[in-house]
């Protein structure tokens, strides 16, 4: 028991050393590219390697907490390893340090394996290793000093121990230490010497250990926090000046939200726009090094700078994006005015060959998307967007450039942080989510959502209004109907029209509302007469279907 307890401080030293290393690496990464942070590099690899059913389960059970939980798990596993490293460092400092270095080496390798990685991306891991090993050596030194109060200067240093492992006297360090320990125990009159827990000691050395441990923990926490702040201020899309569109659109018509507050705004604010991607940190893109490459089956490969893009004729389009993971009635849909270069302009410049049937886009985060070439050429307004609602793309939404494809779920047409478009075939290349069993082609299904009233809220009998949004991108919404308590479908009034690639708001004055609980449902119909089906489908693999029905109380 005593032995176990006296080992505890070493476990703590391992944890503190790891935290300090991780934080230092995180800080360096924040200053260059957050994705190269050792913790995030490992976390991203875990995301990429997680089988689809497990991911589905995680998203279902955890929702948007899936990423914090993932990071937490990575940190937890790391800390368990660091406990082992600390315990081993008690007898074999070099071994403990070696485990820390191995841990960081994995993270460094993962950072370097990212697409578009540069040599300096390994720097955060190197710094993490140096700081981690340094702190471990320091703490082990202190602990050994506190365990041998009679010879405060005589402990083995980590460096000494490490070099000793190369020679015949490999175990001299630990053996000497045990000898000292025994000598000390024999010398004391106390038959039950207190276990040398950090907190039970009163010697100056122990206080030093405690204080330095607290210091390391505080500094680690502070550095982690600072790293996040740095990442947030490093790229500033708001400093980018965008030219106007060659043929600007007029202002959007007044939305229904101005009359019925509960209905989603006709144009989603950038800050409210849903965000879905595979990243633990928002990719940071330096405009200087960034290029949009167009290659593969083309007459001439292109490599365009951001300024090259801005120098082209820009168009402006109102387009609603939807994520395939959106459940019926869910939040992963948003509508914005996008500014960018028509995809056809870029394809014409490059000259598409005769064999390509897909545009394979690769993003800065390594994410890939397959978009059917036929979709890009069928007359819809696919574009490489640089602006969103009058501003440069926010970092979360793909700064500096992203693909926007009307009518396709985001995972097949909305590549953020776009880096390369490759003209190729479906036979030759498959993209991120297709490799994880999601559909290869995924047009958006007609759907509608009740925004007001919210489920399980109470509305007044007078002026009760049911309202929301409906979308069927590239086909357009023809009508929306509302049903109360399974009765007949009643047609709602549609809001303003901003084109078939955009959503429609709708409302119905609920004049005959009676007190009590009611079930309210809605469904949309496209301009072609295609009615939103009641047949339920899960988001996996090609998008949800069904009809949203909520319970509402009328008072
Ligand atoms: N580089 C990159 N682009 C991406 C993704 C991603 O993970 N990485 N996710 C896609 C998915 S699944 C969707 S739904 C849209 C979401 O775009 P938004 O976050 O701007 O709403 O981005 C798409 N583009
Ligand atoms: Mo998505």
Digit-by-digit pLDDT tens for the chain (555 residues) are 445 568 888 999 999 999 889 988 988 888 788 889 998 899 888 888 888 888 778 777 777 677 778 888 888 899 999 999 999 999 999 999 999 999 999 999 999 998 888 899 999 999 999 999 999 999 999 888 877 654 443 333 333 333 333 333 333 333 333 344 444 444 444 444 444 444 444 566 677 777 777 777 777 677 767 766 666 666 677 788 999 999 999 999 999 999 999 999 999 999 999 999 988 878 888 888 899 999 999 999 999 999 999 999 999 999 999 999 999 999 999 999 999 999 999 999 999 999 999 999 999 999 999 999 999 999 999 999 999 999 999 999 999 999 999 999 999 999 999 999 999 999 999 999 999 999 999 999 999 999 999 999 999 999 899 999 999 999 999 999 999 999 999 999 999 999 999 999 999 999 999 999 999 999 999 999 999 999 999 999 999 999 999 999 999
- Domain of 348 in residue numbering reads as 256-436
Minimum-distance ligand 1 atom for the alpha carbon of 276: 19
Domain membership of residue 268 (yes or no) is yes
Of 390, 414, 436, the one marking the end of a domain is: 436
Distance CA 408, CA 410 (A): 6
Indicate the pTM of the whole model.
Answer: 0.80
Query: Could you tell me if residue 335 is inside a domain?
Result: yes
The answer to whether residue 423 sits within a structural domain is: yes
Question: Ligand 1: distance of its center to the CA of 174 in Å?
Answer: 54
Distance 78 CA to ligand 2 centre (A): 30
User: In this structure, are 459 and 369 located in the same domain?
Assistant: no
Give the C-alpha separation, 154 to 152, whole Å. 6
Q: Is the CB of residue 415 below 6 angstroms from any atom belonging to ligand 1?
A: yes
Ligand whose nearest atom lies closest to the CA of 275: 1
Regarding whether 278 and 227 lie in a shared domain, the answer is no
Tokens representing residue 314 in the block: 């820009």
Predicted local confidence at residue 147, as pLDDT: 75
Domain shared by 120 and 56, yes or no:
yes
Note whether residue 297 is domain-resident.
Answer: yes
Q: Which of 369, 382, 414, 418 to mutate to test the pocket of ligand 1 (most atoms within 8 A of CB)?
A: 414
Pick the atom of ligand 1 nearest to 366's CA.
1
For the CA atoms of the chain, what is the radius of gyration?
30
Q: Is residue 240 part of a domain?
A: no
Question: Which of 44, 116, 276 gets mutated to test ligand 1 (max ligand atoms within 8 A of its CB)?
Answer: 276
Looking at residue 149, its pLDDT comes to 56
Q: Are residues 426 and 540 in the same domain?
A: no
Residue 425 belongs to a domain = yes
Is 265 found in the same domain as 226?
no
d(CA 457, CA 434): 40
Which amino acid residue places its CA nearest to atom 5 of ligand 1? 277
Residue 173 belongs to some domain of the structure: no
Residue located nearest, by CA, to atom 13 of ligand 1: 410
Q: What is the pLDDT of residue 196?
A: 47
Question: How many angstroms is it from 443 CA to the middle of ligand 2?
Answer: 12
CA of 59 to the centre of ligand 1 (A): 16
230 and 266 share one domain = no
Question: Mutate which of 268, 271, 277 to test ligand 1's pocket (most atoms within 8 Å of Cβ)?
Answer: 277
H/E segment holding residue 500: none
The per-residue DSSP string of 272-307 comes to GS----S-SSPPP--TTT--EEEEESBSS-EEE-HH
321 lines ligand 1 (CB under 6 A): yes
Q: What is the pLDDT of residue 409?
A: 98
Find, among 212, 225, 48, the residue nearest to 134 by Cα. Answer: 212
The first and second tokens of residue 331, run together, are: 């939040």
Both 148 and 287 in a single domain? Answer: no
375, 409, 436: which is the final residue of a domain? 436
Give the model's pLDDT for residue 154: 35
Q: How far is CA 378 from CA 157, 370, 373, in A?
A: 71, 16, 9
Let me know whether 291 and 415 are in one domain.
yes
Domain count, the chain: 3
419 within ligand 1 shell (Cβ under 6 A): no
Which CATH number belongs to the domain containing residue 483 in this structure? 2.60.40.650
306 lines ligand 1 (CB under 6 A): no
Return the structure tokens found at 78.
Answer: 């790391």
Ligand closest in space to the Cα of 331: 1
Residues 59 and 130 in one domain: yes
**Looking at the CA of 432, which ligand is closest?**
1
Q: Which atom of ligand 1 is nearest to the CA of 409?
A: 14
Last residue of a domain, one of 383, 411, 436: 436
Ligand 1 lined by 432 (C-beta under 6 Å): no
For ligand 1, the distance from its centroid to the CA atom of residue 323, given in whole angstroms, is 8
Pocket test residue of 281, 368, 382, 411 for ligand 1, highest count of atoms within 8 A of CB: 411
Does the CB atom of residue 397 touch ligand 1 within 6 A?
yes
Report in angstroms the alpha-carbon separations of 239 from 391, 393, 397: 9, 11, 16
538, 413: one domain: no
CA of 348 to the centre of ligand 2 (A): 28
Whether 436 is in the pocket of ligand 1, judged by its Cβ within 6 Å, is no
Asked, for residue 181, whether it belongs to a domain, the answer is no
CATH of the domain at 281: 3.90.420.10
By residue count, the chain amounts to 555
Are 48 and 108 within one domain? yes
531 lies in the same domain as 416: no
């Amino acid at each position: 028991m005593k032995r176990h307890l006296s080992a505890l401080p070493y476990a703590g030293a391992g944890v503190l050393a790891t935290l300090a290393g991780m934080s230092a690496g995180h800080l360096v990464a924040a200053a260059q590219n957050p994705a190269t942070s050792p913790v995030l590099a490992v976390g991203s690899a875990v995301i990429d390697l997680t089988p689809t059913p497990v991911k589905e389960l995680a998203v279902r059970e955890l929702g948007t907490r899936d990423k914090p939980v993932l990071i937490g798990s990575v940190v937890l596993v790391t800390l368990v390893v660091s406990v082992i490293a600390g315990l081993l460092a008690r007898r074999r400092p070099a071994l403990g340090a070696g485990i820390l270095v191995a841990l960081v080496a994995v993270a460094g390798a993962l950072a370097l394996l990212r697409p578009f990685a540069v040599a300096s991306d390994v720097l955060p891991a190197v710094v993490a290793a140096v700081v981690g090993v340094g702190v471990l050596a320091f703490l082990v030194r202190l602990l050994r000093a506190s365990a041998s109060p009679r010879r405060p200067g005589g402990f083995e240093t980590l460096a000494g121990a490490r070099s000793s492992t190369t020679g015949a006297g490999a175990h001299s360090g630990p053996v000497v230490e045990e000898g000292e320990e025994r000598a000390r125990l024999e010398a004391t009159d106390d038959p039950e010497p207190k276990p040398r827990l950090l907190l039970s000691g009163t010697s100056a050395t122990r206080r030093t250990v405690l204080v330095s441990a607290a210091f390391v923990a505080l500094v680690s926490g502070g550095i982690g926090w600072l790293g996040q702040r740095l990442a947030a201020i490093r790229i500033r899309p708001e400093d980018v000046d965008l030219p106007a569109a060659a043929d600007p659109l007029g202002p959007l018509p007044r939305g229904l939200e101005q009359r019925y507050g509960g209905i989603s705004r006709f144009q989603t604010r950038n800050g409210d726009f849903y965000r879905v991607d595979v990243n633990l940190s928002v990719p940071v893109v330096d405009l200087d090094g960034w290029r949009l490459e167009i290659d593969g089956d083309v007459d001439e490969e292109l490599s365009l700078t951001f300024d090259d893009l801005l120098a082209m004729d820009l168009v402006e389009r109102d387009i609603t994006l939807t994520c395939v993971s959106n459940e019926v009635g869910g939040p992963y849909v948003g509508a914005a005015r996008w500014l960018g270069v028509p995809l056809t302009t870029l394809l014409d410049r490059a000259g598409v060959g005769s064999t390509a049937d897909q545009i394979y886009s690769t993003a800065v985060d390594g994410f890939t998307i397959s978009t059917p070439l036929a979709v890009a050429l069928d007359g819809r307004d696919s574009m490489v967007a640089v602006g969103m609602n009058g501003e440069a793309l926010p970092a979360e939404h793909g700064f500096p450039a992203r693909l926007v494809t009307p009518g396709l779920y985001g995972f097949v047409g909305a590549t953020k942080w776009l880096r390369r478009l490759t003209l190729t075939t479906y036979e030759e290349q498959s993209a991120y989510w297709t490799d994880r069993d999601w559909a290869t082609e995924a047009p958006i299904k007609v759907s509608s959502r009740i925004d007001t009233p919210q489920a399980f809220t109470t509305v007044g009998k007078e002026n009760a209004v049911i309202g929301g949004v409906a979308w069927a991108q590239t086909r357009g919404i023809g009508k929306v109907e509302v049903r109360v308590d399974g009765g007949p479908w009643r047609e709602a009034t549609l809001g303003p029209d901003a084109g078939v690639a955009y959503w429609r708001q709708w409302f119905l004055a609920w004049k005959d509302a009676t007190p009590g609980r009611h079930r309210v449902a809605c469904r949309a119909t496209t301009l072609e007469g295609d009615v939103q089906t009641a047949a339920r489908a899960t988001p996996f693999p090609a998008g949800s279907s069904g009809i949203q029905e909520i319970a509402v109380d009328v008072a």
